[in-house]
Chain A
Amino acid sequence: MNVILVAVIALGLLGLILAAVLYLIAKKFAVEEDPRIAQVAEVLPQANCGGCGYPGCQGFAEACVKASAEGSLDGRACPVGGKAVMDKVSEILGLASTDAEQKVAVVRCQGSCAHRPRTAEYVGVKNCHVANATSGGETGCFFGCLGLGECVAACSFGALHMNPETGLPEVDESKCTACGQCVKACPRKIIELRPMGKKGRRMSVLCVNKEKGAVARKACDIACIGCGKCQKVCEFEAITLENNLAYIDPAKCRLCRKCEDACPQHSIVAMNFPPRKPKAEEPAKPAEPEVKKAPEAAAPVEAPAPEPVPVAPVKEAAPKQEAQS
Chain B
Amino acid sequence: MSPHVHGGDSVKRNMRWVIAAMMPALLWSFYSFGLGAVVVTLTSVVSCVVFEWVINKFILRNPRNTIADLSAVVTGLLLAFNLPSNLPLYIIIVGALFAIGVGKMTFGGLGNNPFNPALVGRVFLLISFPVKMTSWPVPHQMSAYTDAVTAATPLADLGNANLADLFFGNIGGSMGEVSALLLLAGFLILLCSKVISWHIPISIFVSAFCFSVLFYAIRGGMPFADICMLSLKHLCAGGIMLGAIFMATDYVTSPMTHKGMLIYGVLIGFLVICIRLFGNYPEGMSFAILIMNAFVPLINNACKPKRFAKEVKK
Q: Do chains A and B touch in the complex (CB under 8 A)?
A: yes
Binding site for B on A (CB under 8 A): 123-124, 130, 134
Residues from chain B with Cβ under 8 Å of A130 in the complex: 1
Provide 4 A-B residue pairs closer than 8 Å at the C-beta atoms, listed in order of the A residue: A123-B1, A124-B1, A130-B1, A134-B1
Quick one: closest B residue to A122, CB to CB? Answer: B1
Q: State how many angstroms separate the Cβ of A133 from the closest Cβ of chain B.
A: 9
CA distance A89 to B313 in the complex (A): 59
- For the complex of A and B, the 4 pairs showing the least CB-CB separation, nearest first, are A124-B1, A134-B1, A123-B1, A130-B1
- Please report whether the interface of chain B is mostly helix, strand, loop or mixed according to DSSP: loop
Residues from chain A with Cβ under 8 Å of B1 in the complex: 123-124, 130, 134
Q: State how many angstroms separate the Cβ of B59 from the closest Cβ of chain A.
A: 24
Residues from chain B with Cβ under 8 Å of A124 in the complex: 1
Contact residues on B (Cβ < 8 Å of other chain), bracket:
under 10
CA distance A130 to B2 in the complex (A): 12
CA distance A124 to B3 in the complex (A): 11
Residues from chain B with Cβ under 8 Å of A123 in the complex: 1
Q: State how many angstroms separate the Cβ of B252 from the closest Cβ of chain A.
A: 22
Q: State how many angstroms separate the Cβ of A16 from the closest Cβ of chain B.
A: 38
Q: State how many angstroms separate the Cβ of B291 from the closest Cβ of chain A.
A: 32
Q: State how many angstroms separate the Cβ of A175 from the closest Cβ of chain B.
A: 25
Chain B positions 1 through 30: 1 when the CB is less than 8 Å from some CB of chain A, otherwise 0: 100000000000000000000000000000
CA distance A134 to B4 in the complex (A): 13
CA distance A123 to B1 in the complex (A): 7
CA distance A124 to B1 in the complex (A): 7
Quick one: closest B residue to A124, CB to CB? Answer: B1
Q: State how many angstroms separate the Cβ of A132 from the closest Cβ of chain B.
A: 12
Q: State how many angstroms separate the Cβ of A123 from the closest Cβ of chain B.
A: 7
Q: State how many angstroms separate the Cβ of B209 from the closest Cβ of chain A.
A: 47
Quick one: closest B residue to A131, CB to CB? Answer: B1
CA distance A130 to B1 in the complex (A): 10
Quick one: closest B residue to A125, CB to CB? Answer: B1
Q: State how many angstroms separate the Cβ of B302 from the closest Cβ of chain A.
A: 30
CA distance A279 to B310 in the complex (A): 74
Q: State how many angstroms separate the Cβ of A164 from the closest Cβ of chain B.
A: 15
Q: State how many angstroms separate the Cβ of A21 from the closest Cβ of chain B.
A: 31
Q: State how many angstroms separate the Cβ of A259 from the closest Cβ of chain B.
A: 40
Q: State how many angstroms separate the Cβ of A9 from the closest Cβ of chain B.
A: 37
CA distance A124 to B2 in the complex (A): 9
CA distance A123 to B2 in the complex (A): 10
Q: State how many angstroms separate the Cβ of B63 from the closest Cβ of chain A.
A: 14
Q: State how many angstroms separate the Cβ of A215 from the closest Cβ of chain B.
A: 25
Quick one: closest B residue to A135, CB to CB? Answer: B1
Residues from chain B with Cβ under 8 Å of A134 in the complex: 1
Q: State how many angstroms separate the Cβ of A128 from the closest Cβ of chain B.
A: 14
Quick one: closest A residue to B4, CB to CB? Answer: A123
CA distance A192 to B1 in the complex (A): 29
Q: State how many angstroms separate the Cβ of B192 from the closest Cβ of chain A.
A: 33
Quick one: closest B residue to A134, CB to CB? Answer: B1
Q: State how many angstroms separate the Cβ of A243 from the closest Cβ of chain B.
A: 28
Q: State how many angstroms separate the Cβ of B37 from the closest Cβ of chain A.
A: 46
CA distance A224 to B1 in the complex (A): 30
CA distance A300 to B1 in the complex (A): 24
CA distance A134 to B1 in the complex (A): 7
CA distance A183 to B247 in the complex (A): 48
Chain B positions 266 through 292: 1 when the CB is less than 8 Å from some CB of chain A, otherwise 0: 000000000000000000000000000
Q: State how many angstroms separate the Cβ of B94 from the closest Cβ of chain A.
A: 39
Q: State how many angstroms separate the Cβ of B32 from the closest Cβ of chain A.
A: 50
CA distance A153 to B1 in the complex (A): 23
List B16-56 residues whose CB lies under 8 Å from chain A.
none
Q: State how many angstroms separate the Cβ of B6 from the closest Cβ of chain A.
A: 12
Q: State how many angstroms separate the Cβ of B4 from the closest Cβ of chain A.
A: 9
Q: State how many angstroms separate the Cβ of A148 from the closest Cβ of chain B.
A: 14
Quick one: closest A residue to B1, CB to CB? Answer: A124
Q: State how many angstroms separate the Cβ of B121 from the closest Cβ of chain A.
A: 35
CA distance A116 to B260 in the complex (A): 52
